[in-house]
Amino acid sequence: MRTWLCTTLILFTASARALAASDDLTVVSRNTLNGKDSGNSTSYLSGDHVRMAHGDGNEMIVDIKSGVMTTLDNKKSTYYTTTQQDLQQVSAKMQAMMNDPEMKKGMEMMQKMGGAMAKSYEVKDTGVRRTIAGINCEDWTISMEGISTMHECVTTALKYPVHAFDAYKTFSQSLQASMGAMGPMAKSGAELAEKLKKMQGFPIATSFSMALMGSKSSTGSEVTEVRRGPIPASVWEIPAGYKQIENPMLKAFDKHARGRPSG
């Protein structure tokens, strides 16, 4: 559940920062996982759709007009959709969960953790300037002390359809509203989002490392090619043979509800 929320929030936060002007773009990136090559991925950005690829084999297709996000699992050939109505359901179910006595105790503990997390986030311009795939970019770090570090090289040289920004902003606000019941976790996310406003542009190189409970992992992605021009409509379609599954976020809440004693 946390993975779904974090992935979605990152997607919309990054996209809202990136969408600014006029070109349809096809972006090819090289990915790494724990220091090893994990292949290439291709993302597409247009005025009414965005398709973002991840090195783990997952992709997200966002229909800006309808406000529907489709998550593809290319390894399992499955997909699920998330609508603004789904986010409203998530918000309502979170509110219901907060009335659970055990959940309240857990949230009291998270209140302290959430405050510490918000204070330990740091977003910093390193002052390093690079050129990647012929594009100039600025290096930034996003770190949480003792847990994770992300490096992003962001650029304002890539321009996106300007009218897409408002649609993304609306969907992003809906997501944040659905997280409102999470109390300190939502507060930490909101404070981080505020700090991220200092970063201007689209990340063309990203590396992320995490050390948690004795386990370490790292991922990386770097743009190798950017193509400008119309994107075929077929890019926004769900691949043939893919099976639709239940949204895991909603499924997790339903499972929690079934596990609670009645009355």
Model pLDDT, residue 78: 97
CA-to-CA dists, residue 127 to 139, 152, 200, angstroms = 7, 12, 14
Q: Pick the residue with more confidence: 110 or 238?
A: 238
pTM above 0.75, yes or no: no
pLDDT tens per residue across span 43-89: 888 888 888 887 677 898 888 888 888 999 999 999 999 887 887 77
pLDDT above 60 for 258: no
How many whole angstroms separate alpha carbon 132 and alpha carbon 234?
29
- Pull the structure tokens for residue 140: 């930034």
**What is the domain extent for residue 65?**
2-259
Would you place residue 42 in the very low, low, confident or very high pLDDT band (cuts 50, 70, 90)? very high
Q: Find out whether 209 and 217 touch, Cβ atoms under 8 Å.
A: yes
Model pLDDT, residue 89: 76
pLDDT tens per residue across span 108-121: 665 555 555 545 67
256 conformational bin, left if phi > 0, alpha if psi -120 to 50, beta if neither: alpha
pLDDT tens per residue across span 125-182: 999 999 999 999 999 998 887 788 999 999 888 775 544 544 555 555 555 555 544 5
DSSP string, 82-138: E-HHHHHHHHHHHHHHTTSHHHHHHHHHHHHHHHHHHHHEEEEEEEEEEEETTEEEE
| Alpha-carbon 177 to chain mean position | 16
Model pLDDT, residue 85: 82
Best mean pLDDT range from 30-39, 210-219, 238-247: 238-247
Domains held by the chain: number = 1
How many whole angstroms separate alpha carbon 8 and alpha carbon 86?
13
Q: Pick the residue with more confidence: 5 or 56?
A: 56
How many whole angstroms separate alpha carbon 45 and alpha carbon 48?
8
Model pLDDT, residue 8: 44
How many whole angstroms separate alpha carbon 55 and alpha carbon 40?
7
Would you place residue 260 in the very low, low, confident or very high pLDDT band (cuts 50, 70, 90)? low
pLDDT above 70 for 18: no
> For residue 220, what are the β-bridge partners?
32, 207
Model pLDDT, residue 76: 95
pLDDT above 80 for 243: yes
Model pLDDT, residue 79: 97
The angle that helices 84-97 and 248-259 make with each other, rounded to 10 degrees, is: 30
Model pLDDT, residue 13: 46
* 89: phi then psi, degrees, rounded to nearest 5: -65, -40
pLDDT tens per residue across span 185-228: 555 556 676 777 788 878 899 999 988 777 889 999 999 999 98
Q: Output the domain CATH number for residue 150.
A: 2.50.20.10
Model pLDDT, residue 262: 46
Tell me 74's DSSP state.
T
Residue type, 245: I
- Pull the structure tokens for residue 22: 């006029």
Q: Pick the residue with more confidence: 26 or 98?
A: 26
